[in-house]
Structure 1
Amino acid sequence: MSGSSQPFIPFTRPSFNQETIEAVSEVLRSGWVTSGPKLAEFEASLSTFFGGRPVRCFANGTATMKIALQVAGIGANDEVITTPISWVATSNVILSVGAKPVFVDIDPVTRNIDLNKVAAAITPKTRAIMPVYLAGLPVDMDQLYALAKKHSLRVIEDAAQAFGSQWEGKKIGSFGDLVSFSFQANKNLTTIEGGCLVLNNPDEAKLAEKFRLQGLTRQGMDGMDVDVLGGKDNLTDVNAAIGLEQLKQLPTYQTRRAALARQYFDVIRAELKAAGLENLQLELPVENFTESNWHMFQVVLPLDQLNTDRAQVMTELKDLGIGTGVHYPAITGFTLYKNQGYKTSDTPIAERIGKSILTLPLFPAMADEDIGRIAKGLIGILQKYRKN
C-alpha cells in the first residue's frame, strides 16, 4: 500500500484481451495443454515475423540463452564477452555451460556494451560476443557483426527486451547469428514465462529441439534414443496460445509505448525547467523512435548532485503511488561474481550507472495523465534533495 490517495501505478503490467482468455480456454478444453499444435503454430508465426528464419520456443528466456550457447558449441575453458549491466541470467548461463564471462564496460549514453572496447578484451579463448539490448535499444549492429567477422566469433544476441526493435529498418532477429528473446510477464510480448531462439538453419533448429527435451532424437514404435545432454525446457500450448494473441496486438502495443515515451521526454524536461533544475544532470534514454521498442523508460539519477540515494527516491515515489524498478545493478557486484575475482571497479561506467539507474513505469495500459503525475513526483523529489 502507498500513502497516496491516487491509484498505484506499477512499473509494468501485462495486457490481456478477451480473445487471449478465450484462446487459453480453448487450449484447456482441448485436452492437449503441453507442447503441441499451438506451439507449432506459434513457432511458425514467429518464423514469419523474422523473415522466415527458423525459430524454436522454450520455457523461459534463460533456457533460450543457455541453449544458444550449446548450439554454438561453447563450453569449458571458452570465454564469452558480455556486458555487466543486465539481468544476471546473461552471465549465469555462460557459467552454466562451463565458460567464462568477460565483462566489457558500457557506453554511458546507450548503456549497452561499448563495442569500441571489445577488441581489447578478445583472447585466444574468446568464442563469442553476447551483447544485451538494454530496454530494447540495440547496439550498432553493423559494428557488432564486423567485429565478430574480423575475429571469427559467434554472436549470441541477448535480445530479451528487444522484441519488435529494429536496426536500420530491419527487425532484430530477422538477421544476424543466434538471437534470443524473452517472453516473461513484463516483456513487450509475453507468454507469462517463455522465450524463443532465432537460428540460422534447420540443423541448428533440430539441435535446439534436442537440447530442450532431454536430448531426445527419436521416439515411437521403434524405441527412442538420446545423443546429447538436454534438459526439460519446452514451452506449453497454453503459453503459445497467449503468445499468438500477443503477436496480433504487438503493433498497437508498440505504438502506445512510443507515444508514452515521447510524453516522458517532453514532460520531464518541462518539469525540470519549471523547477529551475535545467542544470541538473538527470540522464534520459537515447531519444530514438525508429529502433527501440521502448521496453522500459530509464533515467540515471544525478546522485552526486543530491543529498539522498536511489533507495530514498524510490521509497518517496512509492509513497506517491508510483512503482519503480532497478534494471540493473552491475553483475560484478554480486557475491557469486566477487568470489570469482570480478570487481565493479574494472567497469567504472557500469558501476556508476548500476548504482543510479531507475526504471519508471511504462506499459500500454497507462493513461496519458500518468506520465505527468510520475514526472512531477520525480522532479519534486529531486528538487527537495538537490544540493545547494
Structure 2
Amino acid sequence: MADTPFIPFTRPSFDQATIDAVGEVLRSGWVTSGPKLAEFESALSDYFGGRPVRCFANGTATMKIALQVAGIGEGDEVITTPISWVATSNVILGVGAKPVFVDIDPITRNLDLAKVAAVVTSKTRAIMPVYLAGLPVNMDELHSLAKQYKLRVIEDAAQAIGSTWKGHKIGSIGDLVSFSFQANKNLSTVEGGCLVFNNLDEAKLAEKLRLQGVTRQGMDGMDVDVLGGKDNLTDVNAVIGLHQLKQLPQFQTKRAELARHYFATLRQEMKTAGLESLNLELPPENFTETNWHMFQVVLPLNQLHVDRAQVMTELKEMGIGTGVHYPAITGFSLYKKLGYQVSATPIAERIGKSILTLPLFPGLTQVNVEFISKSLVAILKKHAK
C-alpha cells in the first residue's frame, strides 16, 4: 500500500474559484466580519426559505447562543441524546442547565422520541435532538412533543445541511436550528456555523451575543446591554461558504451515489465471504431525507475475536482512515463525575462501543468504495468466531 494514496474518512472539497475568492478577500483589506458575511447570511436565508440567519465562529457557539436566546439557564433541564459530539451537552452545562439523556433508536441512532415523555419534569425547558450523519428525527413527532410540554426545540443539525423532512429543507421549518460548517461538514467554511431563527428579534439578540453584547448607536456611539462573547464569523470564512453553498447540490448528488455503492458492495462482499450472519446494521436506506454526511456501520463485536480499535488499526494499515461518531457522552469522565451512568442508556452504550464511520466525501470514487468494502469484509472474515 506504500504507493497507494491514503484514503481519509473525510476531506473537504475546495475548488480553484473558492481559493481565488479567498485571495480576493485577503487583498481587500476587510478580512473580519463584513460585506461577505452579510452576503453569506442573506444567501443562507434564501436557502432556508427566507428565515432569519446569523453566522458564528463555530457550531458550538451556535448551540450556546440558541440556548441563551431561548432563555435557558441555571436549574433548567434540556433533553438530548448521548450519541453526539460532546459539544451538544457541554453547551447545556455551560449555561448552567442540566442535560437529560434519553436513549437512542437502534435503527436511526437518533434520540428515541418515544422515550422523551417519561423524563419530562417541571424543570424541562427544551429538547435538543441531534441528526446523526444528517438523518433527521421525525419532525412531526418532535414538534408535537414540544407543543404538548411547552418546550423550545433546538435542533442540533450540525451534520444535516441539505437534509429534508417531507420535502422541506432542515432549517426551513422548526424552531431554533443550528448548523456546523466545520471542515468535515457537507458545506464547510473551515470553521463556522449558523443559526436559523423564527423572528428578527431573536436574530438581533444573537447578533449582540456573538460580539460582546454590543449595540451600535450611530457613528460615534455604542452600548452593551447583554453579556456577550466573541463568536463572529469572518469574511474569509464567509466567502468560502458562499462558494460551498453553490456547490452543495452537486456534493449531495455525489454523496448519495457513493452511499448507494456502499450498500451494494458491502452486501455483495458479505455474501461472497459467507458472512450473511454478521449484521453490520447498515444505516436506514433513505435517499430522500438524509444528506449522507457519513456512512456508518455497527461492528458485530459479539461475533468477532477482535475489538473496534483493532479493526480500525488494520484498515489504517491498508491505507483506509476511519472514525468513531460517537462514543456515548455519559461514558466520559466529566459526566461520570456529574453522576451520569452509561448503562442508563444501553442502546447508546452498545452503539457507542461498536459504531464505525467509513470514508465518504465528494472526492471519493466508486473504486475507493469497493476497495474499502472488500478490505473491511476481509478483516471481519479473518476475525469472525
Cα deviations across residues 327-381 of structure 1 (Å, max 9, x unaligned)? 0000000001000000000000000000000000000001110000000000000
What SS does structure 2 have at the residue aligned with 1:324? coil
What SS does structure 1 have at the residue aligned with 2:8? coil
Identity of aligned residues (%): 78
Cα distance change of structure 1 residues 298 and 4 upon mapping to structure 2, 3 Å threshold: farther
2:171 counterpart residue number: 173
2:343 is matched with which residue: 336, 342, 345? 345
Alignment of 1:181-200 (within 5 A): 181-200=179-198
1:251 counterpart residue number: 249
Cα deviations across residues 92-132 of structure 1 (Å, max 9, x unaligned)? 00000000000000000000000000000100000000000
2:302 is matched with which residue: 293, 304, 309? 304
Count of aligned residue pairs for this structure pair: 385
2:155 is matched with which residue: 150, 154, 157? 157
Q: Distance in 1 between matches of 2:363 and 2:84?
A: 26
The alpha-carbon deviation at position 21 of structure 1 amounts to 0.8
Amino acid at match of 1:126: T
Q: Distance in 1 between matches of 2:261 and 2:9?
A: 16
2:22 is matched with which residue: 19, 24, 36? 24
Gaps of 5+ in 1: none
Q: Distance in 2 between matches of 1:244 and 1:92?
A: 29
1:217 counterpart residue number: 215
Q: Distance in 2 between matches of 1:282 and 1:213?
A: 46
The alpha-carbon deviation at position 282 of structure 1 amounts to 1.3
The alpha-carbon deviation at position 221 of structure 1 amounts to 3.8
What SS does structure 1 have at the residue aligned with 2:14? coil
What SS does structure 2 have at the residue aligned with 1:77? coil
Q: Does 2:343 match 1:325? A: no
Q: Distance in 1 between matches of 2:118 and 2:51?
A: 33
Cα deviations across residues 127-160 of structure 1 (Å, max 9, x unaligned)? 0000000000000000000000010000000000
What SS does structure 2 have at the residue aligned with 1:7? coil
The answer (yes or no) to whether the contact 1:4–1:320 under 8 Å persists in 2 is no
1:91 is matched with which residue: 89, 99, 111? 89
Q: Distance in 1 between matches of 2:64 and 2:2?
A: 43
Q: CA RMSD in A?
A: 0.7
Amino acid at match of 2:49: G
The answer (yes or no) to whether the contact 1:65–1:158 under 8 Å persists in 2 is yes
1:383 counterpart residue number: 381
2:72 is matched with which residue: 65, 71, 74? 74
Cα deviations across residues 74-107 of structure 1 (Å, max 9, x unaligned)? 0000000000000000000000000000000000
Q: Distance in 2 between matches of 1:153 and 1:221?
A: 40
Cα deviations across residues 205-239 of structure 1 (Å, max 9, x unaligned)? 00000100001112444421101110000000000
The answer (yes or no) to whether the contact 1:4–1:319 under 8 Å persists in 2 is no
Q: Distance in 2 between matches of 1:287 and 1:141?
A: 18
The answer (yes or no) to whether the contact 1:280–1:305 under 8 Å persists in 2 is yes
TM-score, normalised relative to structure 2: 0.99
Amino acid at match of 1:164: G
1:357 is matched with which residue: 337, 355, 365? 355
1:235 is matched with which residue: 233, 243, 246? 233
What SS does structure 2 have at the residue aligned with 1:164? coil
What SS does structure 2 have at the residue aligned with 1:217? strand
The alpha-carbon deviation at position 7 of structure 1 amounts to 1.5
Gaps of 5+ in 2: none
Q: Does 2:292 match 1:271? A: no
1:65 is matched with which residue: 52, 58, 63? 63
Q: Distance in 2 between matches of 1:219 and 1:267?
A: 61
The alpha-carbon deviation at position 5 of structure 1 amounts to 3.9
Q: Distance in 2 between matches of 1:188 and 1:269?
A: 26
Cα distance change of structure 1 residues 221 and 37 upon mapping to structure 2, 3 Å threshold: closer
TM superposition outliers: structure 1 runs of 4+ over 4 Å:
none
1:280 is matched with which residue: 278, 281, 295? 278
